[in-house]
Structure 1
Amino acid sequence: MATVDECRQALHDLAARLDRNAETRGKLDLDRTLACRVTDLATAFHARLDGGRLVDIADGDDPKAKIALTSSSDDLLALVAGRLDVTSAITSRRVAVKANPFDLLKLRKLL
């Protein structure tokens, strides 16, 4: 099981990767609040997706978030590191993503 600090760092690593991708791919029209719930650590983080960038990462849940990702700590780290494919993680129910279908399509372009 990963630690809260490792999960927090993984989100910051993801934010850095999205920043690099946004520079080469251009700005994505997506401005949504995001909650990341880590089930085995009983913790959560929240942030904003702004133009394809992940910003304002902070501890704590956002129950009103427009996009919610729920996973175990190890699966979160594996997703961010690219060791776990997001599509197979969702279909196998290792990861749950709650969002409207149009946001899901836009999210696919980020990863």
Structure 2
Amino acid sequence: MATALECREALTTFSENLGKATGNARTAAQLDRSLSCWISDLDLTFTGQLRDGHIQDLAEAPGRPATKAQIRLALAGDDLLALVDGRLNFAKAWGSGRVKLEASILDLLKLRTLL
């Protein structure tokens, strides 16, 4: 089972990868949206702001998010690590329910190039 530190490191790596995005993915990474990532098996939520191609102000708190972010992810810690490492395909994980993603339809259309 992934630890809170490993999940934070995975989100930091994801943020760094966003900063290196090019083309359509770079456009999607430039969104300015609040973001939450609930790690279900740890009952821990990471929050931040997706801005300028990075996740800024990354914070963590126990439990589910207290406020509703514009982009919301929910998944197990091991799945987060596997997604960031490229060992888990986002579309398959989302389709099977291992990963839950909630956002406006317009944001989902923009985010698809990242996922």
Q: TM-score, normalised by structure 1?
A: 0.89
Aligned residues: 109
Distance (whole Å) between structure 2 residues aligned to residue 106 and residue 63 of structure 1:
23
Q: Could you say what secondary structure the match of 2:69 adopts?
A: coil
Task: Determine if the alignment matches structure 1 residue 63 to structure 2 residue 67.
Answer: yes
Distance (whole Å) between structure 2 residues aligned to residue 18 and residue 48 of structure 1:
13
Task: Choose 68-77 or 52-61, whichever is displaced more.
Answer: 52-61
Task: Determine if the alignment matches structure 1 residue 15 to structure 2 residue 15.
Answer: yes
Task: Determine if the alignment matches structure 1 residue 96 to structure 2 residue 97.
Answer: no
1:1-111 superposed matches below 5 A: 1-21=1-21, 24-25=22-23, 26-28=26-28, 29-60=30-61, 61=65, 63-111=67-115
RMSD: 1.5
Structure 2 vs 1, CA of residues 62 and 82 (structure 1 numbering), >3 Å: closer, same or farther? farther
Instruction: Give the letter for the 2:95 counterpart.
Output: T
Q: TM-score, normalised by structure 2?
A: 0.86
Q: Could you say what secondary structure the match of 1:5 adopts?
A: helix
Q: Matched residues, percent identical?
A: 45
Distance (whole Å) between structure 2 residues aligned to residue 53 and residue 88 of structure 1:
25
Q: Which runs of 5+ in 2 are unaligned?
A: none
Q: What is the CA distance between 1:69 and its match in structure 2?
A: 0.1
Higher helix share: 1
